[in-house]
Amino acid sequence: MSEERQDRLVGAVAKMSELPDSDKVNIRGKLYAEVHTRVQAFREAYGEDGKIVSSIHVADESKVLAESTVSVFVDGSWRVIANDFAEEFRGEGMVNKTSAVENCMTSAIGRALAACGLSGGNYASFDEVDHAINDKAEAPAPKPEKPKAKKKQPKPEPAPVPVPVPAPVPAEVPAIEEDKDIDDYDLGEPTINSEEGAKNLVGSMLELAEEFSSSFDQLKSFWSKNKSVTDVLDRDWPDQFEALKVGFTNLKLKLDEETKENE
């Protein structure tokens, strides 16, 4: 800071320190300078080369928090020389009921100027002390925390409803029709769900073969045409497959005997 600027500040501090008691306010035996007196001393020293910038950090339903910064113009730029804070609660005090923001700003400015040395003897200003004694409300008691809502327990998943398993369905075979030939019966690939179904299928195939086969060639053709059936029986129901082979062998022997008798 240049010597000239430093002399301004020193002069302002000296002026405030020499402030006559008649220009101060006596509160309970102590003398305090008012904020406007401090601002006046600062302006007389710096004029437009000094500035006081105040800002509000909090202004809600319960309190106000303000900050003031004092700067001077030195060597072509602004330089901060002091700052301070003040807090007021919107309580029972008459001033804060209607003017909490203004009151808080005044206190912050007075404290920032006191930080520059412009206190006049006591750091606090008359405005702050008077308000603290007569009007200022105590900080409100913290609001009790609301009990946290209990997390809802997820409802247990319903037990799965058992799905009834259908009873095994015997393999379906076409009904025997008098006007059909053995070569007309192609059973396709059957769905066999049980031993009983396989047994029924074998019985039906033997009945068809015995009813319509008049020669070994027809019997052989019927077996070949229904290879998909015999393959399923051979793979999944070997006992019934053996029964089918035995039945076809017996039919072959029977046809052979009838052929010999007719010769």
**What are the pLDDT digits (tens) for 159-175?**
776 655 444 444 455 55
Q: Give me the percent of the chain exceeding a pLDDT of 70.
A: 75
- Examine the pLDDT at 9 and tell me if it is beyond 60: yes
So what's the pLDDT on residue 84? 94
Nearest to 109 by CA among 131, 90, 128: 128
Using DSSP's 3-state secondary structure scheme, residue 137 falls into coil
Please report where in the chains the tokens 């409300």 appear, as a residue: 137
User: What value does the mean pLDDT of the chain take?
Assistant: 79
How would residue 39 be classed by pLDDT, with cut points 50, 70 and 90? very high
How would residue 70 be classed by pLDDT, with cut points 50, 70 and 90? very high
Instruction: Give, to the nearest 10 degrees, the angle between helix 216-225 and helix 238-262.
Output: 160
Mean pLDDT value across residues 109-118 = 90
Cα–Cα distance for residue pair 93/177, rounded to 1 Å: 112
So what's the pLDDT on residue 3? 55
So what's the pLDDT on residue 166? 43
- Examine the pLDDT at 67 and tell me if it is beyond 70: yes
Q: Point out which residues pair with 82 in neighbouring strands.
A: 70
Nearest to 26 by CA among 120, 136, 107, 102: 120
How would residue 154 be classed by pLDDT, with cut points 50, 70 and 90? confident
Q: Which residue has the higher pLDDT, 103 or 154?
A: 103
Extents of the domains making up the chain: 3-134, 182-262
Phi-psi region of 41 (alpha: psi -120 to 50; beta: other; left: phi over 0): alpha
How would residue 72 be classed by pLDDT, with cut points 50, 70 and 90? very high
**Quick count: other Cβ atoms within 10 Å of Cβ 122?**
16
Write the pLDDT tens digit of every residue in 115-150.
988 887 777 665 565 555 555 555 556 666 777 767
Cα–Cα distance for residue pair 230/187, rounded to 1 Å: 10
Cα–Cα distance for residue pair 54/51, rounded to 1 Å: 10
In the CATH scheme, what is the code of domain 3-134? 3.30.390
Burial of residue 193 (number of CB atoms within 10 Å: 0-12, 13-18, 19+): middle
Mean pLDDT value across residues 48-77 = 93
The pTM is what? 0.47
Q: Give me the percent of the chain exceeding a pLDDT of 90.
A: 19
Write the pLDDT tens digit of every residue in 192-239.
888 888 888 888 888 887 877 777 888 888 888 888 888 888 888 889
